[in-house]
Structure formats: structure tokens, C-alpha cells
Chains A and B, each alone.
Chain A
């Protein structure tokens, strides 16, 4: 279990995260939602120890260090790949350095996405890099798979296929924390939604609970964010001087 207690992260002149408390239990698929600058990426990077922070983050009661960090994997739209290495080279590197590397899953996903195995990553398209980034994160053998906007640049069919495959291959103990803007797309995939706004958690709900209440994920997000549907109409009316027909 990952436990985040009173996590605060500040950049010069700006507070990115403020007193965040969050627990990620084994087997959860958690959607992390929030507007740009809400602190999603910062939160994930703090968990991974890529950024210094105040507060406490533990994994199964222990601080996250080199000893247990292999339990976490990371897929990011920034791409954490070795550009001159081929996928086969990445597989060898991961197999050498991550004890629980799942070669079968790696090969299966490579075949599914029809990615070339012997071409350097620098020659891949952005979409292919996204796919490969996710393949590595899923194959590392980590219990906690952290994904930060992993599908930015992929087409909708590709993403849908991916969600289906992901649901099919995840083991019951594997936890996914998925930061994305594609709320509607992942609504059938995540089991829990965590909403960040200006560095604070403003919502945390089980999707099954929302279903029981008859609330869709997107409505929950809009409600929690106090989304104002008349905002667009008012703006258009102000700009064009015409009466609002869009409300």
C-alpha cells in the first residue's frame, strides 16, 4: 500500500501540492484528474522520489528508497526511454535490472501493438513511443504502475484497445495510478477517481459508488470542480454582443 501523508511540494513562489493525503491500495485502478497545473505530475514525481518534498510517502510502511522502488513503474508522456536503444535492447536492460520483469507480457504487448523490436526508439513516432513507454511500465514487474498522460498523441482507437488489454492483463495485486484529462474515456476503466485542484485533493470517490448513486464520472468531476455550464455562453455573448443561444 502506498500512503501519502501531508505531502507538500513548493516551487519558488508557488505551492504545487499542499497537505495531500492519499492511500493507494493493492488492486485499485485510480484515475488522477485535474486541470493543467493542478499538481498531478508533481504528485506522481514525488511518489517516485524524482522531486524533493515535505511530508511522508511510504510503500507498505517503509519509505520509498532504492531497496523497494522497483515495486513502482512509471510511464510518462515525457518518455523515459533510451533513444538509441531498440525495444529488444530495452527488454534486455529491464530483464537485467528488474528482477520481476515480465518478458511474456512484454512480448505479448509488443505483438499486440505491432511495434518493431529492432528499430531504435529515436525512430519511433510519438504514438509508438507512448505505447512502448506503457509496455515497459506494465512489464517491469512493479506492483504500482504510475502513468502520467501516457496516451497524449495516440488516436482514440488505439487508446480504447489499450484500456481493454490493460483490464485483461492486470493481476489482482497490481495497482494503477493514471493521470489523464481523458475522463470520459477512462470512466469504464478506473475503479476510483481522485480529483486535484490547485495542489489539493478536492474529491475522492469509488466509481462503483458513483454508479450506485446514478452519477457518471464526468458529472462527478464537473460537480466537484463546480463547473459552470453557462460560462461558455456568457463569454460568447460578451465577445460577440449577441444573445446566448448555447446555454
Chain B
């Protein structure tokens, strides 16, 4: 298993790179989760009416579909992808601007160069996809177990619509 520093341009600080990725992931995590919870609680509240302080489920009320709640939820993934592409470009430019690409071209394995340009952005992309899957699972569990049984409409989901 390669060290993280072997997946970055020589001299790049893995802690800084990881820190940037973690900060980025945290922002998306917070934004996606807060907007989901806000939309979910709004849809949930629409199921009820209040008589005095008593909360009563409206007759025939059904919860907004999970697929509708999730539509466009992860649209922020595209800017995230763009940031990863820019990161890879910066990695590439770090070799060309410093002319250290002359050294990379003298290495026996051409993969060494490509690994140091693309590996970290690709790993971050994989982590991003995992985060999306994890959040989708968590949101599905919230939807499944918080929605009143009478208003529950199943867990259908159009995967791509989450990103559009």
C-alpha cells in the first residue's frame, strides 16, 4: 500500500491535502443534511394538523415521495467534481511549471507521474461517492422510520435525479 505522500506531487503535504478534502466534505455533508432535514420536516409537518396543542395526522395524508425529496439533493456533486478536476490540473501544473516533469519523464514507470497527478483526486471522488451513498442510506432510514406508517409511500429512488 502506497503512502498518501506517494499519491501526491513530491513535497505536497498530505495532511494539508487531507484537511482541504475533509473541510470540503464537511461543508457538503452539513449543507446536504441540513437541507434534507428541513425539506423532510416540512413535508412531515404537512401530514398533520393541530387542534389546540394536539398534533393529529390528517386523514388520507401521504408523505412526499422519497424520490421527490431526494431530487437534486446532491446537485452540489458537480461543483465537487469540478474542484477535483482543478486539483488534478494543479497537480499537473506543479510538474510543468517547476520543470520537474523532466525528472518524471526519466523514471522507468510512466505510471508514477499519472499516479501523482490523478490518484488523490480519484480517491477523493471515491470518498465523495461513498459519502453520497452513506447519506442516501441515512436519509432513507430517517424517511422509513420517522414517516407515520399510514402516510408511508415506500422507498423508490431515481439515482440520477439526485444529481440533477
Contact = CB atoms under 8 A, between A and B. Distances in A.
Interface of A: 48-50, 66-67, 69-70, 72-74, 76, 78-86, 89-90, 93, 97, 120
B98 A79 contact: yes
B109 interface: yes
B7 to A, nearest CB: 14
Interface residues of B, number: 18
A70 B108 contact: yes
A126 B11 CA distance: 19
Contacts of B98: 79-83
Interface of B: 9-13, 98-103, 105-110, 112
Given A76-B99, A79-B99, A85 B10 contact: yes
Contacts of A78: 99, 102
Contacts of B103: 80, 82
A76 B101 CA distance: 12
Nearest to A73: B106
Which of B9, B107, B109 has the most CB atoms of chain A within a 10 A radius of its CB?
B107
A67 B108 contact: yes
A48 B10 contact: no
B44 to A, nearest CB: 51
A121 to B, nearest CB: 8
Contacts of B100: 80-83
A80 B10 contact: no
A157 to B, nearest CB: 27
19 contacts: A48-B105, A50-B105, A66-B107, A67-B108, A69-B105, A70-B106, A74-B106, A78-B102, A80-B100, A80-B102, A80-B103, A81-B100, A82-B10, A82-B103, A83-B11, A84-B9, A84-B11, A84-B12, A97-B112
Nearest to A90: B10
Contacts of B108: 66-67, 69-70, 97
A146 to B, nearest CB: 10
B93 to A, nearest CB: 12
Contacts of A66: 107-110
